[in-house]
Amino acid sequence: MTLYSNIHFSYAKFLVFFVPLFFSCKTIKAPLPEIENEKLTIKKQELSIINLPISIRLKPFYKEINSAAPKEFNGAKNMCEGVSYSYIFKRSPLTFYGVGNQLISTINGKYSLKLNYCPKCTSLFNKTGNCVIPRIYASCGIDEPMKKIKVQFGSYLRLNKDYSIHSKTKLLKLNLLDPCKITVFKYDATNEVKKEFQASLKNMAIEIDSQIEETNFKKEAQILWDKISEPIPLASFGYLYINPKKISLSDLNYKNDLAYLNFNLYATPIFNSSIDSSFKLSKVPDLSTYKKEDGFSVEFDIKEHFDSLSILINNQLKDSSIKINKHKFIFKECSVFNASNTKIGIKISFSGKKKGTLFLVGTPNYNMKDKVLSFPDLDFDIKSKNVLLKSAKWLLNKKVKEKIVAAAVFNLNEELDLVKNQINTALNKEYMSKITLSGTIDEINIKQISLMEKSLFIRAVAAGSLKVSL
């Protein structure tokens, strides 16, 4: 055999054995599916209503009132003719109790009285008048135990829209438990003393209201508003933004040593995976008209990045393999992307007898009862099908598709429970000095799932109950 013949024979063997092998290992690269770029229209988030029943311990305020209120006051009535008197009133510590929309304050006190009597006056020598006979002087509660008296006030308080206080205090009861009878001139001064006390106490009520109405809680409301607005860190999900929009308060109601009111917060909560750089604190709005609400129903949005879904699928598929007609198909990498407003795309990188990339598309399906997200209609994109029909028809085997469909199933129960638990933990704590928030989120349900450019948009609704203790 000549040298030429040997070379020719060797080349022929190369063609026979290596050319088929070369073509069998050729990389399959399916083109990217046609991506629809229609802008996703998401229905405006409804205002969530959070009703917070607030209970306020009043005993600390009682001490402040007792310290500030005068412990005694006096008055007098001077006349030339008739009975003139002066009195001193001393109180014991005030006691309080609440009933309905009124705070009742009770004063048990003692008084003493000095009187003088002139039967007839003349202005002959003095314009102010002179008694024609010597005045008769008497007293009660002096050089003897002071006379007992009981007084009750009722106060009605509410917040105005600008966080100032409207106060209306009324004298409810004035009982002179010991009559003030002057035996010297057989005169019972009890009614006169009562009239004088009433006038003084009514003026005191007006003064109390005037002092109270000078108070404004706008500063405190702004502090609370800022605290509500701050992002709440949730370990596994980033940050929860309450996004408060408006607030309203019910009137106060009292029972014994507690005051109760309802605080309604209207908000549009949202989850962010990171701190929102555009976040700014806003001014607290004026109080809105109160409307009775029970518990809370919070609508909030979650953006689940496709990278998270890719990780979940890779956890199940990466480096796993299946056999198709004695050929091995090895999953190397999976990545999720948006194929349209209604369809998700999955890029599959693979190796084995063949290697390369393929694309599948499918429609999200959410089972509300089981809280499971799946893509049952996942199938090879038309472009991927065309490539496989030409180069590797055997890869169109249903085993590949079924494996990916099974992997692309997301049970959201655990994730929603995790969200619920983390929010419950964040809620049940002392937020400000002596202000404790407690409550539970009973359930979280998904209302809407949509596909965005880089994430899965989830609108959820949380229901539960909260309360605040001060």
Percentage with pLDDT > 70 across the chain? 87
Per-residue pLDDT tens digits for 122-181:
877 677 788 888 888 888 888 889 999 999 999 898 889 998 889 899 999 998 888 777
More confident residue, 347 or 442: 347
Q: Which residues contact 351 (CB under 8 A, 6 or more apart)?
A: 330, 332
For 383, phi then psi, to 5°, come to -70, -40
The pair of three-digit structure tokens given for residue 163, joined into one six-digit string: 């966080």
Q: List the domain boundaries for the chain.
A: 27-56+217-470, 59-212
The pair of three-digit structure tokens given for residue 99, joined into one six-digit string: 């009933």
Residue 66, H or E segment: helix 59-68
Burial track 299-334 (b if 16+ CB lie within 10 A, e otherwise): bbbbbbebeebbebbbeebeeeeeebeeeebbbbeb
Q: Which residues contact 430 (CB under 8 A, 6 or more apart)?
A: 436, 437
The pair of three-digit structure tokens given for residue 379, joined into one six-digit string: 């199938």
Locate the DSSP E strands across 178-295.
Answer: 181-182, 187-188, 232-234, 238-241, 244-249, 253-256, 258-267, 270-272
Predicted pLDDT of residue 431? 62
Sequence-ordered alpha helix ranges (H) in 163-319: 190-212, 218-229, 306-317
pTM as predicted: 0.60
In angstroms, how far is the first alpha carbon of the chain from the final one? 107
400: nearest Cα among 320, 342, 314? 320
Residue 280 has pLDDT above 70, yes or no: yes
Q: How far apart are CA 189 and CA 85, in angstroms?
A: 9
Per-residue pLDDT tens digits for 39-74:
666 677 778 888 878 787 888 778 777 777 778 888
Rounded average pLDDT over 12-23: 38
Q: What is the DSSP string of 91-124?
A: E---EEEEEETEEEEEEEEEEEEEEEEES-EE-S
- 3-state SS class at 364: coil
More confident residue, 8 or 308: 308
Per-residue pLDDT tens digits for 329-354:
999 999 999 888 788 899 999 998 88
Q: Match 């229905």 to its residue by tokens.
A: 43
- 3-state SS class at 423: helix
Q: How far apart are CA 96 and CA 157, in angstroms?
A: 15
- 3-state SS class at 340: coil
